[in-house]
């Protein structure tokens, strides 16, 4: 899934507006023939260093290679003031190393759904213990929602919490006046059914095709093969739906702009970027009322529904079909105020300076 984690890249690009940023990532690569390879490039104005480590089943060798690459990347970076950690485990161990041995403060951005009550039981005791040390030693913990903040603290991760949402490029995600001849909805996700409940959406489409003569639902994302098979076996008429394999973010924009609404029927979430992007495009949203979604969901921008309630999803789609929500200017202005690169850069910069002040 090549675009997983792109919200981290977006945060880095936002912060780079007012700060000098180097993004670092280390990953196992089955195609790497050498013990490791370091790639340095500029991605949208962010100096990006990626360390590729040869795949191995030996945990000790893997750990050694990761740490060796990390030390070599440190030399490439040169001087820096603080660390912005994305996803606290396991790379928070390296942030701890930088704080203990180099006196560099760090803050944490966190987006992971794994800390939610329904998922946290899967986390090992060792990971939990290490994560507690990482959060306690950080200057700030910045979850994307209050809901995630509460879940993390309930899990036992103590620290100084400051909510900062995901970022949207509000210069790209803009409203575009469209007059659709066919009522069009879009769903954008990983298509993992246990998470996104894509099968529930398809069952609702099956009911919808008996009520509305013409409409189209576009389902965009990875893991579409199983869902395509599910749709075919369900008796869905192919003229009412279209699967589109995962595409780059910029290619998603016209699909949002041309839609009458976005639907998200997930079983659990934090603060999905795609909802914020839909708002920025002036597109109303129908979503399950889960995680931190309602914290950034004005009533006039769409509908929040109960998870797994297919009847309610059908009702709200029909309501949107009969009474379109036309509020694009206000939606886009809301996105600029809350999720634009400048807004997020200002929020993080304030915490950066506070972190440096605390550590001096």
- Give, for all 360 residues of the chain, the pLDDT tens digit: 344 456 778 889 999 999 999 999 999 999 988 999 999 999 888 999 999 999 999 989 999 999 999 999 999 998 999 999 998 888 999 999 999 999 999 999 998 888 888 788 889 999 999 999 999 999 999 999 999 999 999 999 999 999 999 999 999 999 997 777 899 999 999 999 999 999 999 999 999 999 999 999 999 998 778 888 989 898 899 999 999 998 888 899 999 999 999 999 999 999 999 999 999 999 999 999 999 999 999 999 999 999 999 999 999 999 999 999 999 999 999 999 999 999 999 999 999 999 999 887
Three-state DSSP state, 47: strand
- Is 200 contained in some domain? yes
Task: For residues 314 and 122, give the distance between their C-alpha atoms in angstroms, rounded to a whole number.
Answer: 33
Phi, psi of 193 (to 5 degrees): -65, -40
Q: pLDDT value at position 258?
A: 94
Task: For residues 294 and 359, give the distance between their C-alpha atoms in angstroms, rounded to a whole number.
Answer: 35
Going by C-alpha positions, the residue among 322, 272, 260 that lies closest to residue 297 is 272
Same domain? 329 vs 352 = no
Same domain? 187 vs 330 = yes
* DSSP letter, residue 224: H
Listed in order, strand segments (DSSP E) in 144-266 are 183-189, 215-221, 241-245, 261-264
User: Taking the mean position of all CA atoms in its chain, how far away is CA 266?
Assistant: 14
- Is 174 contained in some domain? no
The number of folded domains in the chain is 2
Its pTM stands at 0.90
Task: For residues 329 and 177, give the distance between their C-alpha atoms in angstroms, rounded to a whole number.
Answer: 11
Q: Are strands 46-54 and 36-43 parallel, antiparallel or unpaired?
A: antiparallel
Same domain? 55 vs 72 = yes
Same domain? 346 vs 332 = no
Listed in order, strand segments (DSSP E) in 74-131 are 83-86, 106-110
- Is 286 contained in some domain? yes
Q: pLDDT value at position 249?
A: 84
Task: For residues 286 and 201, give the distance between their C-alpha atoms in angstroms, rounded to a whole number.
Answer: 11
Residues sharing a CB contact under 8 Å with residue 98, sequence separation 6 or more, in sequence order: 83, 104, 106
Same domain? 345 vs 332 = no
Same domain? 207 vs 269 = yes
- Is 65 contained in some domain? yes
- Is 1 contained in some domain? no
Task: For residues 150 and 162, give the distance between their C-alpha atoms in angstroms, rounded to a whole number.
Answer: 11
Stretch (H or E) spanning 41:
strand 36-43
Same domain? 234 vs 143 = no
Is the distance from CB of 45 to CB of 16 less than 8 angstroms? Answer: yes
Task: For residues 78 and 112, give the distance between their C-alpha atoms in angstroms, rounded to a whole number.
Answer: 30
Instruction: Produce one character per residue of 147-156: b if its CB has 16 or more CB atoms within 10 Å, e if not.
Output: bbbbbbbebe
DSSP output for 236-286 = --GGGEEEEE---HHHHHHHHHT-SEEEE--SS-S--HHHHHHHHTT--EE
* DSSP letter, residue 120: G
Is the distance from CB of 53 to CB of 42 less than 8 angstroms? Answer: no
Same domain? 246 vs 150 = no
Same domain? 349 vs 324 = no
Q: pLDDT value at position 10?
A: 84
Domain of 190: which CATH number? 3.40.50.2000
Going by C-alpha positions, the residue among 92, 321, 75 that lies closest to residue 216 is 321
Same domain? 129 vs 208 = no
Q: pLDDT value at position 276?
A: 97
Which residue range(s) make up the domain with 18?
6-168+341-359
Task: For residues 19 and 15, give the distance between their C-alpha atoms in angstroms, rounded to a whole number.
Answer: 6
Residue 313 region, left (φ>0) first, then alpha (ψ -120 to 50), else beta? alpha
Q: pLDDT value at position 119?
A: 83
């Amino acid at each position: 899934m090549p675009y997983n984690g792109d919200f981290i890249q977006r945060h880095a690009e936002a912060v780079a507006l007012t700060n000098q940023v180097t993004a670092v990532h280390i990953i196992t690569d089955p195609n790497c023939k050498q013990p490791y390879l370091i790639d340095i490039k500029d991605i949208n104005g962010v100096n990006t260093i990626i360390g590729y480590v040869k795949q191995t089943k030996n945990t000790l060798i893997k750990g050694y290679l990761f740490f060796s690459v990390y030390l070599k990347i440190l030399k490439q970076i040169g001087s820096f003031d603080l660390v912005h950690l994305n996803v606290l485990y396991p790379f928070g161990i390296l942030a701890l190393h930088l704080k203990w041995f180099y006196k560099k403060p760090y803050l944490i951005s966190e987006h992971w759904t794994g800390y939610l009550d329904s998922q946290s039981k899967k986390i090992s005791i060792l990971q939990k213990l290490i994560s507690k040390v990482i959060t306690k030693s950080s200057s700030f913990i910045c979850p994307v929602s209050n809901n995630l903040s509460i879940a993390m603290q309930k899990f036992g991760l103590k620290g100084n919490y400051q909510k900062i949402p995901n970022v949207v490029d509000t210069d790209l995600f803009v409203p575009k006046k469209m007059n659709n001849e066919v009522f069009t909805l879009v769903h954008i996700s990983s298509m993992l059914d246990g998470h996104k409940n894509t099968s529930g959406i398809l069952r609702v489409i099956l009911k919808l095709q008996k009520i509305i003569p013409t409409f189209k639902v576009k389902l965009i994302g990875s893991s579409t093969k199983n869902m395509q098979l599910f749709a075919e076996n369900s008796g869905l008429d192919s003229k009412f739906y279209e699967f589109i394999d995962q595409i780059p973010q910029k290619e998603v924009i016209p699909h949002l702009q041309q839609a009458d609404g976005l639907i998200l029927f997930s079983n659990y979430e934090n603060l999905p970027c795609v909802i914020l992007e839909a708002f920025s495009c002036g597109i109303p949203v129908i979503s399950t009322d889960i995680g931190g979604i309602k914290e950034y969901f004005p009533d006039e921008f769409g509908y929040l529904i109960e998870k797994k309630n297919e009847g309610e999803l059908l009702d709200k789609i029909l309501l949107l079909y009969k009474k379109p929500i036309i509020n694009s200017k206000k939606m886009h202005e809301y996105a600029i105020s809350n999720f634009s690169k400048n807004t997020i850069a200002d929020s993080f910069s304030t915490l950066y300076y506070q972190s440096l002040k605390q550590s001096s």
